[in-house]
Amino acid sequence: MLALLVFRFVLWASVFYAVKNLIQLTPLLSKTKLTQISFSTRELSGIKIPALLIYHIIRSILRRIGIGSKLNIIEESDGSFKLKNGDITLYMPFKITNQDIQQYVKCISSNTKTNNNLTEEMIFKNSNHLQLLLSSLTEPTLLLLLSKINCQIDPIGSVNVRNKFELFNFYKIQQLLLSSSLSQNFNEINNIEFQTIAKLNENVKKVKRGWEFNIIIKLIENNLNLNLKSKLIFKQSFTFLTFYKHFIPLPSIPLIKSDRIKEDFKDIGNFKINIDEPIKWSKLSKDYNPIHTFNLAAKLLGFKSKIAHGNHIVVKAIHEVSKNLTSESVSDKNEKRWMEIEFKRPVPVPSTLELKMYKQNADEERTNLEIWVKGKVATTVTCNI
């Protein structure tokens, strides 16, 4: 009898917890332009993940049979394109915990040759790792924006082709992280509150394979003790390609010869991405897109196997070349850090990737990195170090 009562209590408690978490997602069903999410970026977990995954799969299927929100792109008088009624913004609190840093380290350490005593302090002191860490931890804001009922972009039918990161006042963020024990939440340190904002840019670019959209994500700082304006500390731009067959062919773009001299290349080495690694990055970024986690789903969408997360590949590559890329090479006066990533082709899992690096100009504080898979460039990275 007691066992039955305990079972019923656990069952009802589980149901109550599940319903409570699902109710937190209901703002996504509103067609408002501005949406405020009550839970933090790190609380996109548990039942919310499979619920959103099922939701996106159903929406994607309905779109393919002509039901649901469709792309409504209009051409302006100047020949540019805009997404009609595409102006949507989503806000949510931002948190970072010690477990997040540990998970990031796990994503790096697998099958790398330079994981000797990798510490949290090493992550914080490297501006490239800090940008990629903040990108992964703010990605839930992007995923929830794409989940809005009035968002016209189909995340399952789109691919991420380009990312750009900007880290403002690197040393301040670094010192804040290093001075904390990370035993508490980042957004509670020194009475500072952090919030992420995701906004869909209405401007659309027509390209050969379809339409390109930009989603801007900002991480802002609010001081709870002082009546100050919010400060922008990190900004990233995600560019997505939605495949579409244009009836009028685009004019061909003449090839521009690169100024890069082949001799400037430096072969850094190689690293592997194993079959079980995408799920580790999914746990960190909350990106459980089935093309990264299930072979069958990836094949149904035209890939030969499941593919790696683009930023995960870059994280592992940056770590591999850490001896050649040092943040100290940038002038202390230049507190802004940036990184641009272009994904040229998907990386199947498992794969062995090659790394090549070169300096574009001896007078410029920028480094160019190429990640190769099966003899072709898969990803290019440019950063100011």
pLDDT tens digits for 307-357? 999 999 999 998 888 765 554 444 444 578 899 999 999 999 999 999 998
Whose tokens are 């799969």? That residue is 57
Residue 169 Ramachandran class (φ > 0 left, ψ -120 to 50 alpha, else beta): left
Is residue 4 situated within a structural domain?
Answer: no
The CA angle 234-235-237, to the nearest 5 degrees, is 155
- What confidence tens digit (pLDDT) does each residue in 97-115 have? 888 888 998 898 765 555 5
Q: Which residues, other chains included, contact 128 with Cβ-Cβ below 8 Å and sequence gap of 6+?
A: 318, 325, 327, 337, 339, 383, 385
Nearest Cα neighbor of 25 from 129, 140, 171 is 140
Q: How far is CA 247 from its chain centroid?
A: 32
Q: Residue 68 in contact with residue 60, Cβ under 8 Å? A: no
Number of domains making up the chain: 1
Whole-angstrom Cα distance, residue 283 to residue 141?
15
The CATH number assigned to the domain holding 180 equals 3.10.129.10
pTM over the 0.95 mark: no
Backbone conformation region of residue 235, classed left if phi is above 0, alpha if psi is from -120 to 50, else beta: beta
Q: With beta carbons less than 8 A apart as the criterion, state whether 317 and 355 touch.
A: yes
Residue 10 lies in a domain: no
- Which is it for the CA torsion 23, 24, 28, 31, positive or negative? positive
**Residue 89: C-alpha distances to residues 56, 196, 211 (Å):** 19, 11, 20
Whether the per-residue pLDDT at 276 is higher than 70: the answer is yes
Residue at 196 is within a domain: yes
CB 205 within 8 A of CB 83: no
Greatest mean pLDDT among 113-117, 158-162, 258-262, 332-336 lies in 158-162
Neighbours of 158 (CB within 10 A): 19
Whether residue 356 is contained in a domain is answered as yes
User: Does any domain span residue 93?
Assistant: yes
Nearest alpha carbon to residue 187 among 95, 97, 102:
95
Who wins on pLDDT, 364 or 20? Answer: 20
- Is residue 220 assigned to a domain? yes
Tens-place pLDDT, residues 31-78: 999 999 999 999 998 899 999 999 998 988 888 888 877 788 998 989
Percent of the chain with pLDDT over 90: 40
What pLDDT is attached to residue 194?
A: 86
Does 198 reside within a domain? yes
Q: Which residue has the tokens 């948190």?
A: 95
The span from the CA of 370 to the CA of 376, in Å, is 10
The per-type count for the chain, helices as H runs and strands as E runs, is 10, 14
Give me the domain span that covers residue 282: 37-383
Is 19 part of a structural domain of the chain?
no
* E strand or H helix at 53: helix 48-64
